[in-house]
């Protein structure tokens, strides 16, 4: 029987005798096969174990604390995943032999020397403490990809919000650019003019771009990875482009629950500093073949991972887990979202204003997607950031703007 062990070092495999094996025997096998001392191991079937930061955090994970408990009592079988936390330094067997340089061996180039110094290890801590989603915004995104797209093709969007001094991200809305989603790939057809409007509206709302969110399809759910090699490359590119150290990448996917049904899950990560650095310096192979393992990212030159010189790196080495929480933000997310099949019209605007007529006008337009629609309609682009500032400060909208918007709606 084979168990998959996920730790800070990525996904590894341990061969065990069968489901009758006890937890103490499993720990001995991990020590033997993965070189992690038994006394340093904390095991759990709960993925949140990898988020533990203090010894007190580890005490919460008790499902595998009884050494005599058999694996079968935890419903662990061939291919199951067990999460492993350890703090010690790890010695990996089978490191690559050292090749002598000079007259008795091949000469080392400057690239060789740089590669020898490029060691890829797991980054323990993210630069942001957590990412908090506005509930309505997150629900609008997951409802569309679940109920309309049925997780059959990929979908993505840029998250906008704020970053606190403590490094906490708050996401208040998601902008979905023009894109082409496929079963295992996502092509962003970015429109610079539209993105300028988006950023201007966000600035008026006191927000900025803080991350990227994307979905994995139901076909990808059958694959054994958190991010595919294509997703690592896209996430690293967007993180590097942002220039924001707290930038977060979020994946949304379907996962089977204990009852056999499927639940929508959000998981947040930061691309490691090393990942972003390697991307900027052009180390990643950017072409993919049909036979490539999506769990591995290919490098143009050898790097050192676990004491071995390799050209393929487990994608998990580039991911740093970020805690997810939620909040109720000041904006609504009821207006049709841009670049979807259900395009907004002036009739849509009128229906929205009629539905919210009991509210002050500034509250009726407190929706990023509505503001973007106004910015792209009838040359209002330069005026909408001023409206966004009214929304941000909750001050009355000038009468002229209100009359203009209502007049536009009544032309439907």
- The pLDDT tens digits of the residues spanning 80-125 come to 889 999 876 665 444 433 333 333 344 555 555 555 568 899 998 9
11: Cβ contacts below 8 Å, ≥ 6 apart: 4, 5, 81, 224, 225, 295, 314, 316
192-204 vs 368-375: helix crossing angle, rounded to 10: 130
359: Cβ contacts below 8 Å, ≥ 6 apart: none
Q: Is the pLDDT score of 36 beyond 80?
A: yes
Residue 30 pLDDT? 92
Mean pLDDT score, 342-366: 95
**120-327: in CATH 3.40.140.10:** yes
Residue 2 pLDDT? 86
Mean pLDDT score, 347-363: 96
207: Cβ contacts below 8 Å, ≥ 6 apart: 160, 161, 162, 172, 173
Residue 224 pLDDT? 80
CATH architecture of 2-85: Roll (3.10)
For the chain, first and last CA: distance in Å? 65
Mean pLDDT score, 16-25: 92
Q: Where are the domains of the chain?
A: 2-85, 120-327, 346-410
- Which is more confident, 139 or 377? 139
Q: Rounded to an integer, what distance in angstroms lies between the CA atom of residue 144 and that of residue 156?
A: 11
Q: Is the pLDDT score of 304 beyond 70?
A: yes
Exposure on the CB side of residue 301, measured as CA atoms within 13 A: 16
- The pLDDT tens digits of the residues spanning 200-232 come to 999 999 999 999 999 999 988 667 899 999 999
- The pLDDT tens digits of the residues spanning 150-192 come to 999 999 999 999 999 988 999 999 999 999 999 999 999 999 9
- The pLDDT tens digits of the residues spanning 243-260 come to 999 999 999 999 877 777
Q: Rounded to an integer, what distance in angstroms lies between the CA atom of residue 291 and that of residue 249?
A: 26
What does pTM read for this prediction?
0.75
Residue 307 pLDDT? 80
Cβ atoms 242, 280 nearer than 8 A: no
């Amino acid at each position: 029987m084979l168990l998959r062990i996920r730790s800070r070092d990525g996904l590894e495999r341990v061969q065990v005798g069968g489901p009758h094996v006890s937890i103490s025997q499993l720990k001995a096998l991990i020590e033997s096969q993965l070189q992690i001392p038994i006394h340093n191991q904390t095991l759990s079937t709960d993925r949140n174990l990898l988020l533990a930061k203090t010894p007190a955090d580890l005490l919460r994970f008790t499902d595998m604390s009884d050494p005599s408990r058999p694996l079968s009592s935890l419903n662990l079988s061939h291919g199951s995943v067990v999460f492993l936390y350890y703090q010690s330094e790890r010695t990996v067997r089978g490191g690559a032999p050292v090749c002598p340089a000079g007259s008795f061996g091949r000469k080392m180039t400057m690239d060789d020397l740089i590669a020898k110094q490029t060691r890829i290890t797991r980054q323990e801590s993210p630069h942001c403490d957590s990412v908090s989603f506005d509930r309505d915004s997150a629900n609008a995104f997951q409802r569309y990809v679940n109920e309309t797209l049925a997780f059959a093709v990929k979908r993505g969007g840029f998250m906008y919000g704020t970053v606190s001094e403590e490094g906490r991200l708050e996401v208040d809305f998601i902008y979905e650019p023009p894109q082409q989603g496929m079963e295992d790939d996502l092509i962003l057809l970015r429109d610079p003019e539209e993105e300028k409007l988006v950023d201007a509206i966000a600035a008026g709302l006191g927000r900025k771009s803080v991350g990227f969110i994307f979905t994995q399809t139901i076909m990808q759910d059958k694959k054994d990875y958190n991010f595919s090699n294509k997703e690592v490359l896209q996430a690293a590119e967007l993180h590097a482009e942002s220039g924001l150290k707290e930038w977060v990448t979020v994946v949304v996917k379907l996962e089977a629950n204990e009852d056999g049904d499927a639940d929508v899950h959000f998981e947040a990560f930061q691309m490691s500093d090393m990942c972003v650095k390697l991307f900027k310096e052009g180390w990643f192979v950017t072409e993919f073949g049909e036979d490539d393992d999506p769990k591995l990212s290919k490098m143009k030159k050898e790097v050192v991972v676990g004491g071995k010189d390799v050209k393929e790196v487990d994608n998990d080495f580039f991911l740093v887990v970020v805690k997810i929480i939620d909040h109720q933000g000041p904006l609504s997310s009821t207006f049709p979202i841009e670049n979807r099949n259900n395009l907004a019209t002036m009739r849509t605007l009128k229906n929205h204003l009629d539905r919210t007529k009991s509210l002050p006008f500034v509250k009726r337009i407190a929706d990023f997607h509505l503001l973007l629609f106004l910015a792209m309609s009838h040359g209002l682009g330069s005026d909408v950031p001023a409206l966004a500032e009214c929304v941000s400060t909750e001050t009355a909208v000038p009468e002229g703007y209100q009359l203009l918007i209502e007049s536009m709606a009544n032309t439907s």
